[in-house]
Amino acid sequence: MLMKARARRYQAEIHQALISELSADGVRTFLGTGTARDLLSPNVENSTLKIRAAFAPYSGWDLLEQADIHFLTAFVAHNLNHGIMEPVQLAEAKSAYQTAILEVSNRFWPNRAARRRKVLAEEGLTRVIRAEKGEYDWRWLIPA
């Protein structure tokens, strides 16, 4: 089931990338589509968040992946002007990134992989804080 959830997440990322346009001056604009939202939404049966909910609570890399999914969901909601869903998903992403940071910080002797997770979680938290101000890092979300 987790593989199915991951596949849906990546499908959502692809749909989001395909509906974007890059202008000559490097500004990316996004066109509306419900497909990416339906693949992610916690309110849609068989969506990424619905499938993964059965496996909560998360830890380690799964926790980091969950935070990334919430951030992607907020980004899609932002592009579709879903004012209610966006702040909720940003708050979920922020909480998950903070938990991932604490999870590693509370370890007496974190290994290399744990330190890497912490760095990625800190970068994610920075992205969420910027997104709360309306500045989404689409370069992280959308492939070049």
Which pTM does this prediction carry?
Answer: 0.82
pLDDT in tens, 21-68: 777 777 666 666 667 777 777 777 887 888 888 888 889 999 999 999
Work out how many domains the chain is built from and give that number: 1
Best CA proximity match to 119, nearest among 89, 91, 142, 97: 97
The CA-atom distances, in angstroms, between 38 and each of 25, 56, 100, 117 are: 31, 21, 27, 28
18 confidence band (pLDDT: 50, 70, 90): low
For residue 45, what is the DSSP state?
T
Q: Is 22 helix (H, G, I), strand (E, B) or coil?
A: strand
Task: Name the residue range of residue 99's domain.
Answer: 2-141
